Amino acid sequence: MNLDVKKIINLHKIDTRLQEIHDEKGGLPEIINEQKEKLDELKNQIHQSEEEIKLLNKDKSVCTSSIEDFNTNLEKHNKQMDNVRNNKEYDALLLEIDHLKKENNELQSKVDDINNSIEDMNTSNDEINGQIDSLTEKIGNNEKELNEKSVEFSIEEKLLEKDKKKLMSDISDTLFLDKYKEDNDSMVSAVFNGSCGACFYTLPAQSLEDTKSGKLITCPNCSIYLYFDEENQ
């Protein structure tokens, strides 16, 4: 086999592995960023809900205070009923008592509605806080894995880049190298299950045999350089 052919094949294998490392590392940061965005959304929901609960509690406090005032007035008016002097005073007090009771009932109904709303919001917040705890744990695990992979891949990447640099300096075909540097995936590919790894064209039997014998051929369909690799069969 021509020496440059071996180096071209090895060069592509190195770049393929470098891309695999990039993809493995690249996926986690994206996942972590998405998880952190979701976490911020959940925390914002909790914050907004807590602010709404504060406002509801203020309304509830106002209503409760008004109810106490109404109850005081009701008690006062009920005592006055014992001292009425005529039907006119009696009817006036009765009308006022009915009005106070109606107002009181409306306020109590409002307090009940507020309590129900607060209860529902607290239940929802408990569920969201559970999601926050779970998501925070996942982010921590992913960040730990990313750090471990960064350390693990750092050594391998440095060795691969060193080998790549040496191979490129040893390959004599400068025209090929210039094109390869622009886009290595459009220049070289391994044969996959008897087909071109780039366009998936099924190779003629003779072309496939040529690759198996160690030759670097061009795909009859897309003209990419092809080589045979046992791992991809």
Structure tokens at 203: 């190779």
Structurally, the chain folds into a number of domains equal to 2
User: Are 200 and 126 in the same domain?
Assistant: no
Residue 215 has pLDDT above 50, yes or no: yes
Structure tokens at 31: 């996942």
pTM over the 0.85 mark: no
Q: Of 232, 206, 156, 215, which is closest to residue 5 (Cα–Cα)?
A: 215
Residue 136 belongs to domain with CATH number: 1.10.287.1490
| Range with top average pLDDT, 11-20, 36-45, 83-92 | 36-45
| Range with top average pLDDT, 79-83, 100-104, 114-118 | 114-118
Enumerate residues 6+ apart whose C-beta is below 8 A from 232.
190, 191, 192, 193, 197
Residue 4 has pLDDT above 70, yes or no: yes
User: Are 42 and 144 in the same domain?
Assistant: yes
User: Are 96 and 9 in the same domain?
Assistant: yes
Boundaries of domain holding 132:
3-172
Residue 179 lies in a domain: no
> Which of 126, 144, 172 is where one domain is finished?
172
How does the average pLDDT of the chain come out, rounded?
88
pLDDT in tens, 221-231: 998 889 888 76
User: Are 192 and 168 in the same domain?
Assistant: no
pLDDT in tens, 138-196: 999 999 988 888 887 888 888 999 999 998 888 877 777 777 777 766 788 889 889 99
Q: Of 166, 162, 167, 164, which is closest to residue 4 (Cα–Cα)?
A: 167
Residue 49 has pLDDT above 90, yes or no: yes
User: Are 108 and 211 in the same domain?
Assistant: no
Neighbours of 180 (CB within 10 A): 21
Give the distance, in angstroms, between the CA of residue 68 and the centroid of all CA atoms in the same chain.
Answer: 50
Identify the band that residue 2 occupies on the pLDDT scale cut at 50, 70 and 90. Answer: very low
Give the burial string for 30-58 (b: 16+ CB within 10 Å, else e).
eebeebeeebeebeeeeeebeeebeebee
d(CA 192, CA 48) in angstroms, rounded, equals 55
